[in-house]
Amino acid sequence: MDYALEKWFFKDVLVKNAKDASPSLLFYFHMRADIFDILTICARFLLPNFSEDEVTSGYLLAQGSIPLKVLKRSTNSPTLEQALLSLRRTPYFAALRPLLEGKAAITLASIDKRLQGYLWDWVRRQPHSDPLGIGVPIGFIHKKRREIECLRYIASSIKLGLKPDCILENMETPE
């Protein structure tokens, strides 16, 4: 479902309206597309029912700044570590490098956390770089999106019967 919505958004909405959008807004959405593609590639290695053919034949959005050739090379890598290393010439590699250098197992959640942190750092700088530009609404919308994610986490945790202390301990709160 998420994939269908993202694909619709990037193919039908963003591409058709790209000429009317500000460069900052386009950059933000290109980063979101790149992050979605990187997570899709990583899912190929971390989820048992996700094959290389599924990723390359249709699950890549390829609407961001990472060229399709690089995305496919990453997808065709034999291991997750090599897939991440093939992204070394992208701006996201600096965020992913600590996962490769660390001793802990690399999970989809840890990759997502690092990439969302990278996106969050960029969003946080936008209102300061242009206080009257599109960066202010981008920052506001992104904060609201993060707030909704936190509320979804709390609701699903309560539904699962987790105790409030456990929920608070495991919730990722934006800085």
- The pLDDT value recorded for residue 22 is 79
- pLDDT-derived band at 8 (thresholds 50, 70, 90) equals confident
- Summarize pLDDT for 109-120 with one digit per residue, the tens: 899 989 999 998
How buried is residue 56: exposed, middle or buried, by Cβ count under 10 Å (0-12/13-18/19+)? middle
- Summarize pLDDT for 32-45 with one digit per residue, the tens: 999 999 999 998 89
Task: Quote the CA–CA distance of 15 and 169 in Å, as a whole number.
Answer: 40
* Residue range 1-19: mean pLDDT, rounded: 75
Six token digits for residue 23:
């460069």
* Residue range 35-60: mean pLDDT, rounded: 81
User: Among residues of the chain, what percentage have pLDDT more than 90?
Assistant: 31
Q: Look at 12-16, 59-63, 141-145, 161-165 and tell me which has the smallest mean pLDDT.
A: 12-16
- Summarize pLDDT for 84-123 with one digit per residue, the tens: 999 999 999 999 999 999 888 999 989 998 999 999 888 8
Contact between residue 133 and residue 74 where contact means Cβ atoms under 8 Å apart: no
- pLDDT-derived band at 1 (thresholds 50, 70, 90) equals low
